[in-house]
Amino acid sequence: MHLTREEERIYDGERGWANQTCIRILVRLGELFGAEKLIPIDSAHVSGVSYKTLGGAPIEFLRTLADAGAMVKVRTTLNPQSLDSHYLREKLQENLQKPQLDILRQFERMGLTQSLTCTPYYLHRTARDSHHAWAESSAVVYANSILGAWTNREGGPSALAAAIIGKTPNYGIHRAENRRPNVTVRVETKLRNETELGALGIFLGKTLGDKIPAIKGLPNTSKDDVKQLCAAIATTGMTNMFQLGSSTRTRENQKIGVDSDQIKQTIEELSIASTTKPDLVFLGCPHSSLSEMKRIAQLVEGKKVRAGTEFWVCTSCHIRRTAAAYAKKIEKTGGHVLDGVCTVVSWTEKLGIKTIMTNSAKTAYYAPTLNKAEALLAPLEDCLKAAFQG
C-alpha cells in the first residue's frame, strides 16, 4: 500500500501508540483486500456498544486506547446499547449497568457522540458519493443503496480505527467499479407492507451471498419500508448494497425471480412462536424515524396496552426529542418509547420475555438466539392488534 509521508510517521509510531495501532489495523486490512491507499472519510459509525453482546472483553482495550490519548478525527456515531436511561435501567440489576456505563465512558473520552442508534442517517446528512467507515450492517446497506454514500461493512474495531485516523483503505465498494449490480432480481408479486419487504431481504441475503442486486418490481416503496429490506438483506448475507428501479444495467446476466410463495414461506419460517399471545410487542428495528413515530402515535392514540403485554418502540434519543409529542401519546397508552437501546441486544430474557412479536424480519431472525425468545413476525397493524385492547 502507498502511504503518505505523514501516514508513514503514524505507522512508525511518531504520533503515539494509539494512532500507530489504529493505522496498522487499516493498513493490514487494506493489504488483505487489495487497497492501494487510505482515503479520507466524512464520518464513522462504531458498533460493539452493548455490554450484553460484548461482555467485558473490549473495556480494557477501549480504556487503554483512551488513556493513550486516542481521539476521533471525524464525526463518529455509536450503535445502540443494552438498556435505555429510564425504563430498563430501573428494571435491571446494578451489575449489568455498571460495565455498560464504563463502555460508554471510554467511547466518550475518545470523542464519539453518544448517539446510540443504528440509524445514524437520521441525525446527520451524508453527501452523495462521500466516503464513510460504518459498522452496523443495516445502516451500511441503507447508506450505499438509498443515500448514495459509500461505505464498506466495517467491524467495530476497524470502524473505530478509521474514526481515529480519519481514513479508510479504498477497497470494496469505495471503488466505483465495485458498485455496479451483478444480478437482477425481479419481484413478481406486490409486496404489501414493511414486513414483506423484510422477508424479501432475508430471502435475498440467503440467496445472493455478497452479490449486488438490481431489484425490479418495487415501485413507490417508502424509505421507512425499504429500511426493513436493508436490515434484513444484511442479516442473512454479505450484500452491502442494492439498486432499486428499472434503469439499472447489470454486469452479468444472472436473473432471479421472487414470487409470493417465497415471501410467505420466509415469513412463516421466521414466525415460529407456539403461542399467538406475545409477552412483548416491539417496533423500531431499525430505530424508528420521525414519520414512523408519528404513524404509531396516530394509530395508538387513546388506546390501552393489554394487561400482561409489554409494548416497546425503540428509537434514538435524537428522534425521541424531535418526536416528543408522539412519544408522549405512545407512553400514555402504557407503552414505552425506549431510546438508545436495541431490543435484540438488550436483556429481554431477564424480564421474563419469552415471545416477541415484531414487524422487523431482522429481529424475528435474531430473537431465538440473542433473546432466547420465540418470534412472531407480522406487519405494524397486526402487531398493534396484539398489543392493544379493543
Partner 1 sequence: MEGIRTAEALVSAKPISFLGGVDPADGKIIEKKHDLCGTCIKGKVLVFPHGHGSTVGSYVMYSLAKKGLGPAAIINQTADPVVVVGAIIANIPMIDQIDIAKFRTGDTVEVDGSKGLARILKHKDG
| Per-residue contact flags (x/-) with partner 1 for residues 70 to 109, judged by CB under 8 A | ----------------------------------------
32 binds partner 1 (CB under 8 A): yes
Does residue 74 contact residue 111 with C-beta atoms inside 8 Å? no
368 binds partner 1 (CB under 8 A): no
Going from the C-alpha of 309 to that of each of 265, 284, 329, 335, the distances in angstroms are: 27, 17, 18, 9
b/e per residue, 190-206, with b = 16+ CB within 10 A? ebebbbbbbbbbbbbbe
- Applying CB under 8 A, the span of 17-25, 211-219, 269-277, 292-300 interacting with partner 1 comes to 17-25
**Using the rule CB under 8 A, which residue among 99, 111, 148, 155 binds partner 1?**
155
157 binds partner 1 (CB under 8 A): yes
# binding residues, partner 1 (CB under 8 A): 22
What residues form DSSP beta bridges with 341?
A: 81
21 binds partner 1 (CB under 8 A): yes
d(CA 96, CA 308): 25
Residues 51-70 contacting partner 1, CB under 8 A:
53-58, 60-61
**Using the rule CB under 8 A, which residue among 158, 250, 266, 316 binds partner 1?**
158
Going from the C-alpha of 135 to that of each of 73, 78, 274, the distances in angstroms are: 17, 9, 34
Give the count of beta carbons closer than 10 Å to the beta carbon of residue 158: 22
Going from the C-alpha of 269 to that of each of 199, 226, 266, 280, 366, the distances in angstroms are: 10, 21, 5, 20, 13
- Applying CB under 8 A, the span of 34-42, 49-57, 78-86, 236-244 interacting with partner 1 comes to 49-57
d(CA 169, CA 172): 9
156 binds partner 1 (CB under 8 A): yes
Read off the amino acid at residue 166: G
- Applying CB under 8 A, the span of 25-33, 124-132, 267-275, 359-367 interacting with partner 1 comes to 25-33
- For partner 1, give the closer residue by CB, 30 or 340: 30
**Using the rule CB under 8 A, which residue among 104, 135, 357, 383 binds partner 1?**
135
- Applying CB under 8 A, the span of 22-30, 209-217, 279-287, 377-385 interacting with partner 1 comes to 22-30
Least Å distance, CB 373 to partner 1, is 19
306 binds partner 1 (CB under 8 A): no
Least Å distance, CB 33 to partner 1, is 9
3-state helix, strand, coil in the chain (%, to 5): 45, 15, 40
- For partner 1, give the closer residue by CB, 172 or 213: 172
Sign of CA dihedral 42, 33, 254, 266: negative
307 binds partner 1 (CB under 8 A): no
Least Å distance, CB 304 to partner 1, is 40
- Applying CB under 8 A, the span of 151-159, 190-198, 209-217, 371-379 interacting with partner 1 comes to 151-159
28 binds partner 1 (CB under 8 A): yes
Q: Where does the chain show beta strands of DSSP type E?
A: 38-40, 43-46, 75-78, 132-134, 167-169, 183-187, 213-216, 243-244, 255-258, 280-283, 310-315, 336-339, 355-358, 374-377
Does residue 388 contact residue 222 with C-beta atoms inside 8 Å? no
- For partner 1, give the closer residue by CB, 17 or 87: 17
Residue for grid cell 418526536: 323
Applying CB under 8 A, the residues found at the interface with partner 1 are 21, 24-25, 28-29, 32, 47-48, 53-58, 60-61, 135, 155-158, 161
